Structure formats: C-alpha cells, structure tokens
C-alpha cells in the first residue's frame, strides 16, 4: 500500500499536494466543488496588513503553455481575514492551513504575522518576499540576501509556528538568498514564485497587461522551477516546498525527487478547479508505475 503522507516542518500532512497562494482563494470557494480536506493543506490568498484593491485591469494575459498575471495582491487585509475569512474556512476545512503573508516594509510583515499567529486554523506561515521594499527604492526583498534575511528574522521573532520564505526566481543567485533565510531562522523555503513576463497586443500596439509586466506561470516554467528547487534543496538543510508549472502527479514526483518535501500547484487550478484533487487521486498509480512505496525521502 502506497503512503502519501509527508512531514512538513514537523507537521505531518496526508499528502504533499498544496494549492498555491493566489490560485485557491481562502479555500471555501473550492469547497463548493469538492471536499478540500483531501488536500495536504493549501496556501491561502496573499494577505497584507491593510486592504488592497490591486492593480488596474486588464490583469491577465494568456501565453503559450502558461499565463501572465498582475493582480497586485488584492486582498481584504489581515483584520478581515481573521474576522471573516478564517471562520468561513474553518467550517469546510479541518486541517491546518498555510498563511501566505506579504508586505512592503519589514514592519508590515512583522505586524501581519503577529496578528495571524494566534489563529488556531494556521499551521505554517509562507512569507512572500517578492514584494517591493518601499524603504529600499522599490526593489523586491527577495532580490537581496540581506533584505530577505531581515524579513525572516522579523517574522521569526513573532511566531513559534513554522516559517517558510517564498523566493522569487528573478534573481542571479537564488541559493545565496535561500541560505541567508535559513541562517536567519527560516524553517523552510518555498520556490519558485512567478517569473517576470509580458505580452504585446499587436492590433493596439501596447502591452496587454495594464501594469505592462506580470508574473509568468504555468507548465512552460516547470523546468526552470525544477532546476531551482534542486539547487536550493541541495544547498540548505531545511525543507523545501517546490512549485512552478506543476500540473500532474508525475510533476509532483519529479519535484520530490529534485528535493522538495511538498509541492504547490498554482496555475493549473485556474484552468481546472479540481486539478489538485485529480493529482492526489492519480499519485498512487504513478507511484506503482515507478516502484515507489512512500513519498518521503525521494530526493536524488
């Protein structure tokens, strides 16, 4: 009998499949389609200290084997997440959830995590350091080892729950950033966030996205994501969550072999709302095909 269970920073989950932040809302929306308790867990919509409307439209552009989005972290703000979203979630999801947190200053990250920390629904924090540092000229916290480490130390100081730092691939040396986060106290690393891309409307002769550029995701980026997961997983001693273009059970196994302990599924949810359920259901077949009895310790 195949075992799908894995350990995610000290918390055992039923399987390694996790819908990625920004593609699964706050979960209860998808609970209308299937029992989301089949999931290992999920990372809820990126949450900031204050409410955000997001970027102007259009925000989405289709691409060959992928998509570009520039939603801009639209969310109701941490206080409404606590008072409204988590109570609705707790009625349909009976496992620990991963809280995805974003910020535009170190203080914002720290305050948002501190407010969410007491919530019993939250098992892990996933801290997105791809946001612009408003005090650092607008450059992303995730492009600098020192800046990423500063955010890590700040959030680590206000929670005892596991902290995963979500890294941007739009850097020269992702390994040095991952190591800096580990040294600053991160319990794990999530990667990759979206690549930076754009499309141009030929008829109108201007960018499709109002924001000009956006995050490129989907199956086209899977080889890049796999390479970065492999590099980071072999450079740090903390667990790695792999993501980027995952759309099948085979992709999940490949990510685990690259060194991930769990795998997030993003853009596939926007194409097929039951993608994660279907991947989980197919994992035993793929495991039998390749003679795998457990999803733990597949790292090559």
* CA distances in angstroms from 21 to 138, 236, 266, listed in the order given: 22, 23, 7
Q: What is the CA radius of gyration of the chain?
A: 18
Q: How far apart, in whole angstroms, are the C-alpha atoms of residue 186 and residue 239?
A: 10
Active-site residue among 63, 119, 131, 181?
A: 131
User: Do the beta carbons of residue 97 and residue 44 sit within 8 Å?
Assistant: yes
Q: How far apart, in whole angstroms, are the C-alpha atoms of residue 292 and residue 157?
A: 39
Per DSSP, 44 falls in state: P
Q: Is 107 helix (H, G, I), strand (E, B) or coil?
A: helix
As given in the structure block, the two tokens for residue 95 are 């496992």
131 is catalytic: yes
Closest to 212 in 3D by CA, of 59, 65, 75, 72: 59
Q: Phi-psi bin for 81: left (phi > 0), alpha (psi -120 to 50), beta?
A: alpha
User: Do the beta carbons of residue 19 and residue 39 sit within 8 Å?
Assistant: yes
Q: Determine how many CB atoms are found less than 10 A away from the CB of residue 222.
A: 20
Q: How far apart, in whole angstroms, are the C-alpha atoms of residue 48 and residue 185?
A: 22
* C-alpha dihedral (255, 144, 113, 69), degrees to nearest 10: -60
Per DSSP, 167 falls in state: P
Helical spans, DSSP H, in the chain: 78-80, 86-90, 106-116, 145-156, 174-183, 222-233, 249-258, 267-271, 275-289
Which are the catalytic amino acids? Answer: 131
């Amino acid at each position: 009998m195949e075992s799908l269970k894995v350990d995610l920073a000290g918390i055992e989950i039923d399987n390694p499949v996790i819908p990625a932040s920004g593609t699964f809302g706050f979960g209860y929306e998808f609970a209308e389609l299937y029992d989301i308790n089949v999931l290992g867990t999920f990372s809820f919509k990126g949450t900031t200290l204050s409410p955000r409307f997001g970027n102007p439209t259009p925000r989405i552009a289709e691409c060959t084997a992928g998509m570009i989005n520039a939603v801009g972290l639209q969310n109701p703000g941490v206080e409404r997440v606590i008072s409204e979203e988590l109570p609705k979630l707790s009625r349909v999801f009976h496992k620990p959830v991963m809280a995805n947190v974003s910020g535009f200053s170190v203080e914002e990250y720290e305050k948002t995590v501190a407010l969410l920390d007491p919530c019993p629904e939250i098992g892990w924090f996933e801290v997105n350091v791809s946001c612009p540092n408003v005090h650092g000229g607008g450059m992303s916290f995730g492009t600098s080892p020192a800046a990423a480490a500063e955010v890590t130390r700040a959030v680590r100081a206000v929670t005892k729950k596991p902290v995963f730092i979500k890294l941007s691939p739009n850097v020269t040396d992702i390994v040095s950033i991952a190591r800096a986060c580990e040294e600053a106290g991160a319990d794990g690393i999530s990667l990759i966030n979206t690549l930076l891309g754009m499309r141009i409307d030929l008829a109108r002769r201007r960018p499709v996205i109002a924001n000009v550029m956006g995050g490129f995701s989907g199956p086209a980026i899977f080889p890049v994501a796999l390479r970065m997961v492999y590099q980071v997983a072999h450079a740090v001693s903390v667990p790695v969550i792999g993501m980027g273009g995952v759309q099948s059970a085979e992709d999940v196994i490949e990510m685990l072999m690259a060194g991930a302990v769990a795998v997030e599924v993003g853009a596939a949810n926007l194409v097929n709302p039951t993608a994660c359920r279907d991947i989980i259901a197919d994992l035993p077949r793929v495991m039998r095909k390749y003679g795998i009895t457990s999803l733990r310790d597949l790292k090559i």
